[in-house]
Amino acid sequence: MEKKEEVKEKNNKGDVKGSKRDPYSGIFGGLILILLGVLFLLATMDVLSWADWWAYFLVGLGGIFIIEFIVRSVTPAYRHQHRGKLVVGTVLLIVGGAHILGMVSWWPLILIAVGVIIVFTSLKKT
């Protein structure tokens, strides 16, 4: 019985001192679930077609990633490297937006261009 209490004390002390909880991860995870719920609701109400809901999901997810990048950029405690979220968010916005706007045939060129930019930026840093 005493050993279990000792373990709990050590865990509680370790959790309080050692780890710093990221409040933004829960917020943005919740936003993604809300986005899915809204899109499924609109699809079941025949406002969106089931064939196109994924494009709106990509646009919404891209927007959430970009918002997360902006929020983390202005918060000093969570300002570490999040440039990947900006790149992924932009790509998702472009892919989803291209489908919604009917530019299905040429959107892969945008992905190629973004990939080339990322490669050259990485090479420039070395």
The count of domains in the chain is 1
User: Which residue segment(s) compose the domain that 95 sits in?
Assistant: 18-125
Residue 116 belongs to some domain of the structure: yes
Place of tokens 């190629």: 112
Which among 53, 35, 33, 54 has a CA at the least distance from the CA of 44? 53
The pLDDT tens digits for 12-67 are 444 444 456 777 778 888 999 999 999 999 999 999 888 889 999 999 999 999 99
> Mean per-residue pLDDT for 71-88?
77
pLDDT digits 0-9 by tens, 91-125: 888 888 888 888 777 777 777 887 888 888 777 76
Reported as half-sphere exposure (CB side, CA atoms, 13 A), residue 44 has a value of: 5
Do 72 and 78 meet the contact criterion of CB atoms below 8 Å apart? yes
Whether 5 maps to a domain, the answer reads no
Residue 10 lies in a domain: no
